Amino acid sequence: MKNSMLPTRREFIKIGAVTGSGLLLGLHLPGWEEATGPGRPKNSGDRQEGMPNAWIKIGRDNTVTIMVSHSEMGQGIATALCMIVAEELEADWSGVRFEMAPVADVYKHPAFGIQWTVSSMSVQSSWERWRLAGAAARELLIAAAVRFWQVPRETCRAERSHVIHLPSQRGLPYADLIFKTDGLTLMAQPPLKGPAEFKIIGRSPRRLDSRPKIDGSAVFGIDVKLPGLLAATVVHPPLPGAKVKSLNARVALNKPGVRQVLAIRTGIAVVADTFWQAKSAVDLLEIEWQGGSGTPASTGQLFDRWRAMGKKEGKRFYQTGEIKDHFKDGAKVLEAAYDLPYQAHATPEPMNCTAHVSADQCEIWAPTQNPKGAQEIAADITGLPNDRIVVQTTFLGGGFGRRALVDYVGEAVEISQKVKAPVKVIWTREEDIRHDFYRPATYQVLQAALDPLGRPIAWRHRIVGADVFAQALPQVLSGMLPDYLPRFVKNMATALARRLLPRFIAGKNAVKGAGPLPYNIPHMQVEFVNDDPGIPICWWRSVAPSTNCFAVESFLDELAAAAGRDPFDLRFELSAPSPRLRRVLKLAAERADWFTSPPPGVYRGMAAHDFQGTMMVLVAEIAVSEKGRVRVKRMVCAVDCGIAVNPGNIAAQVQSAVAFGLTATLKSSITFKEGQTEQSNFHDFPLLRMEEMPRVEVHIAPSTKPPTGIGEVAVPLVGPAVANAVYAALGRRIRKLPITPADCRIPEIQPQMHADEIF
């Protein structure tokens, strides 16, 4: 049984029969010929829908369905991308729908060369080509009406999924016109609207995924149902790379519903009729492991090692001017070191995937950020060619970068192949946290020399740790390589990348957010000391900026205090080269009443950041209880993200990023003891609770520039804004996360307001 929400590969090929290749010239879309076939085939009159290009389907009921090539994991991307297409298409928003696109070259991410959703770049990278796709389809439909009516082009216009003949006020719905386009070609460079003409972009219409998520009809990976579907869960080794020495599954196999206990590439799988039966049987397994990578015995030992390594110069990744002499001549030299821990993704929906492998086909239903990678790992396991592997991307119950990897997809495929039946793999929460690919930890040392006016004239930033890019990229590399390459060539390239990337590019990703900075500091040097202790790491919401921004913005506050300057004033002066950042600094300060004293017992901190072209400033208002508990009461955010495609969704993304960032700032981290993860579930990896969520105000600076990213942007700012507010409250610097009551408990500091009134 297929998921009706998603087209199968065969259906996609049929859809391709009613599309044209002319759009390739205007959009420069790779793989268009492979996805649709050459020429412009006819739109068959007996079909219930037609496609003017690979992105748009128009049904006979005049609904417009947009093929979304980016994963919807709650960030609202399906709605935002549909708004872009619908705007230029002049579609009636009430009739717009979306489907998740199948795996095809035409849907590859233009910046990465692979079909995946990462780095808050979906809107930014899709802006132009999706507008062109909508505009080209609009002009094609108008051309069909002009030919049908035999009227001049200038007498017709498109509106609300119709083409109107202005003199006669006759109208034809797109549903009729799509089947009258035979012989017409798509314009290579269709006219695009100016921002003043937008009717959908810049507004906040209902999200297209709201109703199915409310009424329960939305299909997440964990919801997939198939006839004869079995359930499985996996036990992973306690140390990366460990192997099974002995296994006693006799008791587990005697439990009701348990079908098999299997050794797979990544551990031991238990297959049963239901997930609970499989999970219960796992607890009865007697497994002895051997070997494993040499991870540090404890988190403390790892950071001790990094502190020693941080005393030596690392590889330079960014430099302006010459810092050496200025540390001798500076009126004042400051230094500070920051510890940032490993973090788990802890997605609300744990890792899961459903697979059905038969003799000549493999079907996958996966909540994945990387459908192409899912196809590649299935091809590697089954030996089937890519065109026999169908990947259907479901809704994701959170991704945060974790689902850019496809290890859990490979487990479902391997188990299904071995048991010769459809299988749904679900990880327990314990497996999810203990065997995550974590946000990298880092140790960071910053030094600055100040001139007599307290401005930094020289700046050195040294980062010690492992680079997620060097470790995780080989796992997705095969998806970036052309399908025509033999499997053994892809495997060789991946193996080579695992050996060479840590050596040659480690640090390139790890220094993001550390340099260049949007500040006028004439002499800067950013270094990276590569030390990978073997702990699995992966992209995490905002990745390197989540640690580097904490160090940079905390240290900048320390410089302001040392110079006796207001943190806003110093940032505003230094941001002279970035007018956009200056604008959001002023906006945040005004809306947060920065220059007005807060209520008694409430303290403010600020942080600013340039996240891949999105400028954001966050002001945190906090209170600290007598026992050292930090309560964030209010967050004021100002952001310039170019054209605000959907202001309501931008605000929602900032709010969710604040919640995500506060969990890492105040609540949880991942630590290791004797090489193993100490945390296992939400009792020792707690998340922010509803009553702990502050009021979040989002102020969007108007702009006519192309849109930039928003989904991850606020995460890096939360930690330093709160830490700087703690300094305002207690006069104590926070140089590690998470902030604990022990960090803030100062008996001699008396609260200015009774704790009950603040908390």
Q: Which long-range contacts (CB under 8 A, 24 or more apart) does 65-68 make?
A: 65/96, 65/97, 65/98, 65/99, 66/96, 66/97, 66/98, 66/99, 67/98, 67/99, 67/100, 67/101, 67/107, 68/98, 68/99, 68/100, 68/101
Shared-domain flag, residues 242 and 104 = no
Q: Which residues of the chain have pLDDT under 70?
A: 1-47, 294-295, 329-330, 746-759
Range of the domain at 284: 221-293+351-426
DSSP state letter for 342: B
Q: Which of 574, 578, 340, 301 is nearest to 446 (CA)?
A: 340
Task: Tell me: do 178 and 235 sit in the same domain.
Answer: no
Measured from the Cβ of residue 197, the count of other Cβ atoms closer than 10 Å reads: 10
Based on the domain organization, do 242 and 134 belong to the same domain?
no
- What Rg value do the Cα atoms of the chain yield, rounded? 28
Give the pLDDT of residue 37. Answer: 29
Q: Classify residue 30: in a domain, yes or no.
A: yes
Same domain, residue pair 750 and 660? yes
Q: What is the pLDDT of residue 755?
A: 42
> For residue 353, which of 233, 188, 509, 222 has the smallest C-alpha distance?
222
The pLDDT of residue 94:
97
The sign of the CA dihedral 590, 591, 596, 602 is negative
250/167 same-domain check: no
d(CA 628, CA 699): 31
DSSP 577: T
**Pairing relationship of beta strands 362-366 and 352-357 according to DSSP bridges:** antiparallel
In a domain, 747, yes or no: yes
**Based on the domain organization, do 194 and 227 belong to the same domain?**
no
pLDDT at 67: 97
pLDDT at 295: 66
Q: Which of 398, 426, 454 is the last residue of a domain?
A: 426
Tokens linked to 392: 């259907």
Instruction: Give the separation between CA 485 and CA 553, rounded to whole angstroms.
Output: 46
Q: How far apart are CA 371 and CA 374, in angstroms?
A: 5
Euclidean distance between CA atoms 633 and 693, whole angstroms = 8
Token couple for 271: 């297959």
Query: Residue 671: its pLDDT value, please?
Result: 97
Q: Which residues contact 608 (CB under 8 A, 6 or more apart)?
A: 518, 553, 571, 575, 581, 584, 585, 615, 616, 617, 618, 717
Instruction: Supply the pLDDT for residue 497.
Output: 87
DSSP 688-733: PPGGGPPEEEEEEPP--SPP---TTTTHHHHHHHHHHHHHHHHS--
| H-run or E-run covering 286 | strand 286-290
Rounded-to-integer distance, Cα 375 and Cα 478, Å: 10
SS3 category, 589: helix
Pairwise CA distance, residues 666 & 622, whole Å: 12
Single-letter amino acid code for the residue at 27: L
Please tell me the distance from the alpha carbon of residue 489 to that of residue 467, in angstroms, as a whole number: 25
Tell me which of 426, 456, 477 is where a domain ends. 426
Distance of CA 618 to the CA centre of its chain: 20
Residue 589 lies in a domain: yes
**Is 392 buried (19+), middle (13-18) or exposed (0-12) by CB count in 10 A?**
buried
Neighbours of 355 (CB within 10 A): 29
User: In this structure, are strands 523-530 and 315-320 parallel, antiparallel, or unpaired?
Assistant: antiparallel
Q: What distance in Å separates the CA atoms of residue 635 and residue 171, rounded to the nearest whole number?
A: 50
Q: Is residue 327 part of a domain?
A: no
Q: How far apart are CA 417 and CA 389, in angstroms?
A: 13
Residues 6+ apart with CB under 8 A from 609: 513, 545, 549, 553, 615, 616, 617, 713, 716, 717
Among candidate residues 527, 306, 214, 267, the one with its CA nearest the CA of residue 411:
267
State how far the Cα of 470 lies from the Cα of 87, in Å rounded to an integer: 40
Do 123 and 263 fall within a single domain? no
Per DSSP, 405 falls in state S
Label residue 678 left, alpha or beta by phi (over 0 means left) and psi (-120 to 50 means alpha).
alpha
- Reading the block at residue 734, the tokens are 């926070």
Rounded to the nearest angstrom, the gap between the alpha carbon of residue 745 and the centroid of all alpha carbons in its chain is 35
Name the DSSP class of 132.
H
Distance CA 141, CA 46 (A): 19
624, 670: one domain: yes
Pairing of strands 64-68, 56-59: antiparallel
**Same-domain check for residues 137 and 283:** no
Residues 199 and 248 in one domain: no
Last residue of a domain, one of 426, 458, 489: 426
Residue spans of alpha helices (H) in 315-370: 326-329
Residues 583 and 681 reside in one and the same domain: yes
CA 537 to centroid of chain Cα atoms: 15
Give the model confidence (pLDDT) of 37-58 as tens digits: 222 334 544 567 899 999 999 9
CATH of the domain at 585: 3.30.365.10
The count of structural domains within the chain is: 3
pLDDT at 104: 95
HSE (CB half, 13 Å, CA atoms) of 23?
29
Q: Give yes or no: residues 599 and 747 share one domain.
A: yes
Among 75, 33, 77, CA closest to 54: 33
Cα–Cα distance, 653 to 76 (Å, whole number): 8
DSSP H or E segment with residue 500: helix 487-504
| Closest among 558, 570, 614 to 594, alpha carbons compared | 570
In a domain, 479, yes or no: no
Question: Per DSSP, which regions of 564-613 are E strands?
Answer: 603-611
Edge-to-edge strands, sheet with 170-173: 156-159, 162-165, 170-173
Distance, CA of 437 to CA of 532 (rounded, Å) = 13
401 within some domain:
yes
Q: Give the integer Cα–Cα distance in Å for 476 and 468.
A: 12
pLDDT at 7: 37
Which three-class secondary structure state does DSSP give residue 22? coil
Can you state the angle between helices 647-662 and 715-730, rounded to 10 degrees?
Answer: 60
Q: Is residue 150 part of a domain?
A: yes
DSSP string, 747-758: TTPPPSS-HHHH
441 inside domain: no
Residues ≥6 apart with Cβ < 8 Å to 7 = 15, 99, 102
